[in-house]
């Protein structure tokens, strides 16, 4: 690189004084702009990290929340099948009917059917 610069200097004509000042000012302005850009990049990187953490937090909350909501349904379904199985083994129509009724209620209803109630629950957490 040094040899290249020396070669350029050997083959170049002297720069007039007023152009040296203008060139120096352009270099200083360019450096200032570069520093401003670096600061902006750092700022945007920080904002990006905060947003990623916020999105990740919300994702983890929603994942946990919906796992809980639907796992409770799974638990209810398992219990209803236990009642149905017991009713079948004991030939007990009341148990069978209760199990089927409970199962049909769980299956027919959605844990998120009342979306407004769900939204309020989520807002409380956020």
* pLDDT (tens digit per residue) in 31-74: 999 999 999 999 999 999 999 999 998 888 888 887 777 777 88
Give the pLDDT score at 44: 97
Average pLDDT over residues 9-31: 79
Exposure of 122 in the CB half-sphere (CA atoms within 13 A): 18
Q: What integer best gives the mean pLDDT of the chain?
A: 83
Give the pLDDT score at 112: 64
Contact (Cβ atoms closer than 8 angstroms) between residue 111 and residue 72 = yes
More confident residue, 11 or 59: 59
At 108, phi and psi to the nearest 5? -75, -30
Give the pLDDT score at 35: 96
Binned at pLDDT 50, 70 and 90, residue 125 comes out as: low
SS3 state of residue 6: helix
Which of 71, 46, 69, 75 lies closest to 125 in space, CA to CA?
69
Question: From CA 114, how far away is CA 79, in angstroms rounded?
Answer: 24
């Amino acid at each position: 690189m040094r040899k290249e610069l020396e070669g350029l200097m050997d083959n170049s004509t002297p720069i007039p004084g007023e152009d040296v000042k203008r060139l120096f000012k352009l270099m200083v302005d360019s450096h200032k702009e570069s520093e401003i850009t670096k600061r902006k990049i750092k700022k945007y990187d920080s904002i990006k990290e905060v947003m990623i953490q916020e999105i990740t937090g919300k994702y983890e909350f929603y994942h946990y929340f919906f796992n809980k909501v639907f796992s409770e349904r799974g638990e209810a379904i398992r219990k209803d099948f236990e009642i149905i199985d017991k009713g079948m083994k004991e030939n007990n129509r009341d148990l069978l009917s209760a199990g089927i009724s409970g199962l049909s209620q769980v299956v027919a209803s959605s844990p998120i059917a009342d979306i407004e109630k769900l939204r309020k629950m989520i807002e409380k957490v956020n």
